[in-house]
Amino acid sequence: MSKQHKATIEDVAQLADVSIATVSRVINAKDKVKDSTKQKVMEAIHELGFEIKRNDLLSDHDSKTILVCATELKNPFIVPVIDGIQNSAHNHGYDILLLQTKQLYTTFEDYESVLKSQKFAGVVFLSSVTSAQLQKIGEKLNYRCPMVFCSEYIEDANIPYVCIDDEDAMYRSTSFILASGRKKIAFMNSSFKYNYAKRREVGFRRAMEDNDVPVNENAIVRLSSVTYNLAYSNALHLLEQEERPDAILCISDVFAMGVLKACKKKGLRVPEDCAVIGFDNIDLAAIADPPLTTIDQPAYQLGYQSCELLVEKIIRPETPNKRIVLDTELIVRESTPITIKKGI
C-alpha cells in the first residue's frame, strides 16, 4: 500500500476476500463470524495499516432501520409491495424508511449521500432506474451495504432478488387473446431503458411468432413513464389507425385504464370492438368499466420475500445469494372475450 493511498474498508474486504458487512462485524466485535474469517480480516487490517473509523461504514448491524427505495409512491402497484416489506421488517424488529427516488437518484453517489446521513441495516431497492444505472448502483451499493433487488433486477449481478417471470407472463397474456380470435394486436409498453419492459416485449413477440401472427410494428408503443394520461393519448392515436387494433395489451393496469377511457371516447365497445388486457392486478382493475383482464403480479409477496432475504443477509452476511421467481396468474374479466379460460 503506497503512502499516497490511504487504506479503505473496501481494500480490507478485497484483501481478506470477504464482504464489507463481514469487515464491519469484525471491527465492531459482532458475533457469528468464524474465527478463521476474523483472522483473515485482522491480518488484512494489519497488512494495509487500515485505521478503523466507525463512520467509514455505510451500513450498521446495530441499526434497526431498513431503507426502501421506490420510484413513485403514487404508483398503485407499489403500495402492496411496501406493505409486504413493512410487515416482514416489523416481524424481525426493524422499521423502514421510504425514499421516493423519482428521477432524482440515478447514481451510486446519490444513494451514498443518503446512507451517510443515517446508518441503515440494509436496503431494499425497487426503483426503476435504467438498466445501465441499475447495474452500476447495484454493484457499488451491494459492496458497501446489504441490499436486495425487488421486482426489477440484474440477472447476472451478485445481488439477491425477488421477481416474476415477465417474459412468461406476457407470453401467456398474448396467447390468451390470440386464442380468442383476435389478430390485430397492439402492444403498449414502457421504455426499453428498463429490463422488465424488454422481457415483456420478448414474451409478446414470442407468442405472436409461435401463433404465426405478424407483429404490426406501427402498433407497438413504448412510453417514457407509467402514467394514465400518457396511455390515454397514445391509445387514442392507436385507435385512429387505418388498421385499428382489435386488442391492446398493456404492461401496466395504469396503461390499461387509459386505454379503456380512449375506447369509450371513440365509441368503441370493450371487448366486442377492442379487447384490453392489463398487468399487475391493482385494486382498480376489478372495478373498472368493464372489469379488467390482467396478469396478477404477487405484489405483497414480492415485498415480503425481498425483506426476508435482506434480513437474512444482515444477520448472516455469508449466506449465498438467493434468487426467487414468484408465480403470476392471468385473471380473466369482462374486458376480453371470456369464452376461453382454460389451458392458459
CATH 1.10.260.40 domain range(s) in the chain:
9-56
Amino acid at 128: S
- Kindly report, residue by residue over 17-57, the tens digit of the pLDDT: 887 777 777 776 555 678 788 888 888 888 888 766 544 45
Q: CA-CA distance, 329 to 342, in Å (whole number)?
A: 12
Tell me the CATH number for domain 166-297: 3.40.50.2300
- Per-residue pLDDT of the chain (344 residues), as tens digits, is 444 567 777 788 889 888 777 777 777 655 567 878 888 888 888 888 876 654 445 555 678 999 999 988 888 999 999 999 999 999 999 999 999 988 788 777 888 788 777 888 999 998 877 667 777 777 777 767 888 999 988 777 778 999 999 999 999 999 999 999 999 999 999 998 888 999 999 999 999 999 999 999 999 999 988 899 999 999 999 999 999 999 999 999 999 999 999 999 999 999 999 999 999 999 999 999 999 999 999 999 999 999 999 999 988 887 888 999 999 999 999 999 976 544 44
* pLDDT value, residue 22: 79
Fold of 65-164+299-326: Rossmann fold (3.40.50)
**Three-class secondary structure assignment of 218-286:** HHEEEECCCCHHHHHHHHHHHHCCCCCCCEEEECCHHHHHHHHHHHHHCCCCCCCCCEEEEEECCHHHH
Q: What is the DSSP letter of 170?
A: H
CATH 3.40.50.2300 domain range(s) in the chain:
65-164+299-326, 166-297
Under CATH, which architecture does the 9-56 domain have?
A: Orthogonal Bundle (1.10)
Q: Which pTM value belongs to this model?
A: 0.80
Q: CA-CA distance, 46 to 213, in Å (whole number)?
A: 66
Q: CA-CA distance, 202 to 197, in Å (whole number)?
A: 9
∠ CA(95), CA(196), CA(341), 5° rounding? 100
Q: How many helices (H) and strands (E) does the chain have?
A: 12, 12
